[in-house]
Amino acid sequence: MATYLLTGGCGFIGSHLAEALLARGDQVRVLDDLSTGKMENLRPGATLIRGDVSDAAAVRQAMADVDGCFHLAAIASVERGVRELLVTHRVNLSGTLAVFDAAARDRLPVVYASSAAAYGDAGPLPLEETTYPRPLSAYGADKLGCEQHARAAGQVHRLPTCGLRFFNVFGPRQDPKSPYSGVISIFCDRLSRGEGVDLYGDGEQTRDFIFVADVVAALLAAMDHASPEAPVFNVCTGQPTSVRMLAETVASLCDTPLEIRNRPARLGEIRHSLGSRGRAEASLGLGTPVGLRQGLAATLDWMRQNQAPAAPYPSSERTSMTMPTQSTAETPTISSAASGHPSLPSESGTAASTTWSAASDAASPAGTLGLIR
Ligand code: NAD
Ligand code: UD1
């Protein structure tokens, strides 16, 4: 049994990773400022230190006596990085440096979230880890910066790290309620209510959408590959889907007509993003990824069970509610997620923990991937 610090553990991907670590008997300490994460995402059994990852003292304190760190805390929106450059830079790059600095004291292994956004408009497709990155956004540049600093920390301090370039991750618990949310969560939320969707640009831009259970598998495997050589792996499916095709697929799964509102293309956007799985398959031993339809069915299933009543969108009130700011000077506060904690309703309203049972599209019909309680 090991103890891990998990930054961003109240977020979408972090909550699934926490669940997997706890399920195998590890202890999980979460550092999160709850800016985009939610208290209800804190998994029963995990401990929360509420603090800012770019606050070096808070990170050092949170890192005490752990065996390793999964670093996921970040402002995950490319679009928000365009609008709030310095804030996202502080969290996404300085926050990662604070993690490396704290971990370097005891040479603790760090697995951290990089991004496909680091590639920018690099080519050819599919993108290999050896492709020379050419970020198009500040968010992508900062994620690439994390990788460069991981290498430097490996050379100077022998810090063992492993970086994962997640492509577009989706699944249950991805919050659809902010204008900065991931496209799948927004489309599933809107179309399951029978509402229309916004399409930025011509909709022919493509993404490599990967289900969250596959990302968790990669994170767990990566901890054994953290080394001072600072390896980096793609976490992707190798399957392209256009945003328009995505909208059509979700509409058909929701059995609703598709109403599209065309919007101008976003700044800093990648046109085509498609990864090669070769290196990750060979080194991390990852299995066949969950198919898009199957992952979408599971996401819609979860959304139907947890959907809040329709709120005006985008709503500034809602956005500010989910993005409270925390001063870096504030002392981090600690709380625990024990089963039955009054502020921790589980997704079904019970205190039961949740595990994923994933099988490939070919192995089982869409929709059989679901929550086992
Ligand atoms: P998320 O917003 O759901 O989770 C991020 C978590 O970090 C939240 O709980 C948030 O409260 C926390 N956080 C943000 N700023 C913080 C700060 N200053 N101090 C402490 N905690 C802070 O996002 P996610 O989709 O779960 O992303 C997790 C990681 O994966 C991020 O590093 C993101 O950049 C990366 N990533 C995500 C995707 C994707 O498609 N979702 C793709 C590539 C990379
Ligand atoms: C996403 C992740 C980012 C990650 C990157 C890796 C989020 C919020 N962003 O960025 O953390 O590093 O993948 O590849 O999870 N779109 C619409 N309509 C909408 C919303 C989006 O057409 O309502 C389009 C966007 O313009 C874009 C595509 O859908 O072309 C995907 O957008 P988004 O989900 O925000 O993800 P990325 O910008 O690719």
Q: Contact at 8 Å (CB) between 334 and 50?
A: yes
Q: Dump pLDDT digits (tens) for 127-163.
A: 999 999 999 999 999 999 999 999 999 999 999 999 9
Distance CA 104, CA 95 (A): 14
Distance CA 129, CA 282 (A): 13
Q: Dump pLDDT digits (tens) for 98-131.
A: 999 999 999 999 999 999 999 999 999 999 999 9
pLDDT reported for residue 154:
98
pLDDT averaged over the chain? 86
pLDDT reported for residue 335:
53
Instruction: Ligand 1: list residues with CB < 6 Å.
Output: 8, 10-14, 31-37, 52-54, 72-76, 91, 95, 113, 115, 166, 168-169, 182
pLDDT reported for residue 307:
77
pLDDT reported for residue 152:
98
List the residue whose alpha carbon is closest to atom 38 of ligand 2.
78
CATH of segment(s) 3-372: 3.40.50.720
How many alpha carbons fall within 13 Å on the CB side of residue 312? 3
Nearest CA to 55 out of 333, 322, 332, 335 is that of 332
- Show Cβ contacts of residue 353 under 8 Å, excluding neighbours closer than 6 positions: 19, 22, 23, 43, 44, 339, 346, 373
Mutate to test the pocket of ligand 2, among 77, 168, 245, 292 (most ligand atoms within 8 A of CB): 168
pTM: 0.88
**97, pLDDT greater than 60:** yes
Between 343 and 181, residue with greater pLDDT: 181
The ligand placed nearest to the CA atom of residue 127 is 2
Map out the domains of the chain as residue ranges. Answer: 3-372
- How far does residue 181's CA lie from ligand 1's centre (Å)? 11
Q: Dump pLDDT digits (tens) for 67-83.
A: 999 999 999 999 999 99
pLDDT reported for residue 179:
84
pLDDT reported for residue 373:
18
- State how far the alpha carbon of 356 is from the alpha carbons of 53, 100, 150, 338, 373, in Å: 29, 31, 31, 21, 9
Q: What is the mean pLDDT of residues 197-221?
A: 98
Q: What is the mean pLDDT of residues 25-42?
A: 98
How large is the greatest C-alpha to C-alpha distance in the chain, in angstroms?
Answer: 57
pLDDT reported for residue 160:
99
pLDDT reported for residue 13:
98
